[in-house]
Amino acid sequence: MQSRRLLDAYRLSVVALAAVLLLARLRGGELATVDPVIVATLLGAGILAIQFPLSIGPNHKLAMDTAALFAGVILLPTPAAVLVAAGATTGGWTISALRKIALSPVKPRLAVVLPGVLFNGATNTITVGAACAIRDLVQGPGPLQLHNPTTVWVIPLMAFAMYGLNAALVTTAVGLYSGRNPLQLLLSTRQVTALQYAGLFLTGVIAAAGTATYPWMPLVMVLPAAIIYVSLKRSLQLAEQTIHAVERMADVVDRRDPYTFQHSSRVAAYSVQIGRRLGLNPDQLRVLRLAARVHDLGKVGVPDAVLLKPGQLTPAEWAEMERHPQIGYEILGEFAEYGRMRELVLTHHERYDGTGYPDRAEGRRLPLIAQIIPVADAFDAMTTARPYRQAMSLAAAAAVLERGAGTQWNPAVVAAAVAALRTTPAPAGQPAIAPA
């Protein structure tokens, strides 16, 4: 409840600041010199862009209105630019919210939807105002002189101001609601979208350059922009479908042995818990989760006689088993989406002291993220039943991890794993892990 009140107070403050900025800038007479066709075109483009966001990750959607708003920063005097930002964002998100309400069986109250719409509009109004202030400080009030080499250098500075201020405002809101450090959120979450936003800013510059000469240029750009949008959306969907298919393959491998059913899903969940304790950013956590989900994919190349053997393996059979990280590494090489995950799959049975497999690599020399799956994998193996033994309790498994810290596993990763386990309820009849 306290976090909700803090969030509401913060959003109200941002909206009030944007309203003051908007009213202060609209007092001048600069709007009389503005081409209404350009204003209407940018306003319409911004509203339309918000209706078709691109999903670039499980927790990230990219609204394409940034290109239109940045074109406005370049082409329009400050009053018109902030008016376009406020109108396009508020109008666009209002339409988007109404569409969702119409399609949703559970109708949210206006009091729930309205603060978010106003906050989005206020955020873009403030960021556009800041970018315009930088432009006006460098060359004086008015549209940016694109053909003047002494002032055009300000374009990347304006883009950075818009991006950085927007990130700060949004992550502060998320931090207040979730109780997380806003600065940490700012430094981590925005790494995922920085490249995509750079492309949107560049699109805005190109649109502005054409519109400065031909006011109808944005209308001509609608078709190529739509083609690019559809192509990019299709490529993102294809990447998601590829990941889904590979994960289904990994699940089929797990099902070969009834004792490892859903093993990879559990290892992925444990790995993410440990990664959060170690301070990995959202992009690293995504890489870690995807790698953990398919870490045993290479077992598709291990014969059933070896994989399903209830007793101890012979040296020859162990040699067969030790091939599965390399097989998984080679299979994933066929999928570009797994370029960053392959090494984690290859090394998930390497040990901290260098006596693991397949390459006897010293785990201590591997990146920290590569030393998490081995701990999560071992913990799940210990706490699930096998044909030759019963499942260990959480406390017993934690004790094994602590004994192996510094030899089999990275001590910091083990400490993070045990700390995470202390917050995990023990199954009925099992002792909980003692607090540190």
Within a domain: 133: yes
Within a domain: 42: yes
The answer, yes or no, to whether the previous bond of 358 is cis (omega within 30 of 0) is yes
pLDDT of 287-342, one tens digit each? 999 999 999 999 988 888 888 777 788 889 888 889 999 999 999 988 888 888 99
pLDDT, position 110: 65
Within a domain: 202: yes
What residues are paired with 389 via a beta bridge? 386
- Per-residue pLDDT for 401 more than 90? yes
- Matching residue, tokens 């107070």: 9
pLDDT of 126-184, one tens digit each? 999 999 999 999 888 888 888 787 778 899 999 999 998 988 888 888 778 766 676 76
Within a domain: 14: yes
Tell me, yes or no, whether 350 and 246 share the same domain: yes
For residues 82 and 92, give the distance between their C-alpha atoms in angstroms, rounded to a whole number.
15
Residue type, position 26, single letter:
L
**328 CB-near residues (< 8 Å, 6+ apart):** 294, 295, 296, 297, 298, 299, 345, 346
Within a domain: 426: no
- Per-residue pLDDT for 30 more than 70? no
Average pLDDT over residues 18-45: 81
Tell me, yes or no, whether 146 and 288 share the same domain: no
For residues 401 and 99, give the distance between their C-alpha atoms in angstroms, rounded to a whole number.
51
- Per-residue pLDDT for 436 more than 50? no
Structural domain count of the chain: 2
Confidence of residue 227 (pLDDT cuts 50, 70, 90): low
For residues 6 and 241, give the distance between their C-alpha atoms in angstroms, rounded to a whole number.
39
Tell me, yes or no, whether 203 and 92 share the same domain: yes
Distance of CA 266 to the CA centre of its chain: 21
Average pLDDT over residues 59-76: 82
pLDDT, position 50: 86
Structure tokens at 78: 């400050």
- Per-residue pLDDT for 221 more than 80? no
Where is the domain boundary, 220, 253, 277? Answer: 220
Domain carrying residue 378 = 237-421
DSSP annotation string for 100-133 = HHHH-SS---HHHHHHHHHHHHHHHHHHHHHHHH
- Per-residue pLDDT for 386 more than 50? yes
pLDDT, position 269: 92
pLDDT, position 186: 65
pTM of the model: 0.65
Tell me, yes or no, whether 416 and 310 share the same domain: yes
Tell me, yes or no, whether 243 and 109 share the same domain: no
Within a domain: 111: yes
